[in-house]
Amino acid sequence: MADAKWYVVHTQTGIESKAKASLENRAITCGMADKIQKVLIPTEKVSEVKDGKKRISERKFFPGYILVQMELTDESWYLVKNTNGITGFVGSGKNPIPLSEDEVNKILQQQEEKTSKPKPKVEFMEGESVRVKEGAFANFNGTIDEVNPNRGKLKVMVAIFGRSTPVELEYWQVERI
């Protein structure tokens, strides 16, 4: 549909999925499925280790917001605005501002990339102090010398027998002190 544009809708944080389902159901029930085309919660996959097991979970890019591709009319605006869990459109007053094609494409591309390859849940920076939790150097403290987020690895300078030694570790093997 040529008139359909993407809009950012503010929801109550933590109930984005309920708001999405509610909006989709109301659009069908009210015969406006042709006006409300897509409802999207941009997410990324993140990996973390809990109790020695690697788990992959989803994290929202924009907590408290969903994206809606819709044809904006008074009726569709009212339907979205009066859906449970939705607090309103992002924009000024009664005239929400649509996202540009560029912005939408960047968000969709970012979601596609992040869904295919999970990233570590915890981000580290060079110079941070960490403690090794697992592996041959467990319980040693060190300083991060290098971060490789693409591989999920760190180079940590660990003091062994009074000398600083570089050790390559995975994100899940260390914790901040």
- What are 124-159's pLDDT values in tens digits? 889 999 999 888 888 999 999 999 877 778 999 998
- Specify whether the CB–CB gap between 96 and 41 falls below 8 A: no
Fold of 4-120: Alpha-Beta Plaits (3.30.70)
Write the DSSP string, 92-156. Answer: ETTEEPPPPHHHHHHHHHHHHHHHHS-EESS---TT-EEEE-SSTTTT-EEEEEEEETTTTEEEE
- What are 12-23's pLDDT values in tens digits? 888 999 999 999
Here the tokens at position 126 are 């060079």
Write down the pTM of the prediction.
0.64
- Specify whether the CB–CB gap between 154 and 169 falls below 8 A: yes
- Specify whether the CB–CB gap between 5 and 80 falls below 8 A: no
Q: Is 11 helix (H, G, I), strand (E, B) or coil?
A: strand
- Per-domain residue ranges of the chain: 4-120, 129-176
- What are 99-133's pLDDT values in tens digits? 998 998 888 888 777 656 666 666 788 999 999 98
Q: Which of 168, 138, 172, 170 is nearest to 156 (CA)?
A: 168
Fold of 129-176: SH3 type barrels. (2.30.30)
